[in-house]
Amino acid sequence: MDRKRLTAELERLYRTEYPSFLRVAIAVTGDEAAAHDAVQEGFARALKSLRTSRAAGTLEAWVWQIVVNAARSVRSEHGGTRLVPEDAAFVTANGSDAGVDATVRTWVAALPER
């Protein structure tokens, strides 16, 4: 696929799947603002290395890997700890109970990198 088509596909993915990328980044970082930054950084990295670094598989899977790695980097920059307190009162991105959401974020954060 040529660069122009790859770029258009990456833009479509960004526009249609941003909320999904954001939810996972929030789960990894524990902080919505940091998650927005991670998703933005992930897509910027993907765009920069679109033709040179893309591994086999779908574009979406490749971008997921980049975004999750960017979110892990953000978390690592903050000492690997949650960026918001466990008992912080907030409405989650999907409207679920904050306690359940925190548990899911903990599970996702504990997943191995691969």
Q: For residue range 71-110, list pLDDT tens digits in order.
A: 999 888 876 655 454 444 444 455 555 556 677 777 777 7
- Would the pLDDT of 18 be above 70? yes
Q: How high is the pLDDT of residue 89?
A: 47
Nearest Cα neighbor of 82 from 9, 30, 7 is 30
Q: How high is the pLDDT of residue 52?
A: 75
Q: Could you give the CA distance from residue 33 to residue 48 in angstroms, rounded to a whole number?
A: 23
Q: Could you give the CA distance from residue 109 to residue 80 in angstroms, rounded to a whole number?
A: 10
Q: What is the DSSP letter of 50?
A: T
Instruction: Map out the domains of the chain with their CATH numbers.
Output: 3-110 (1.10.1740)
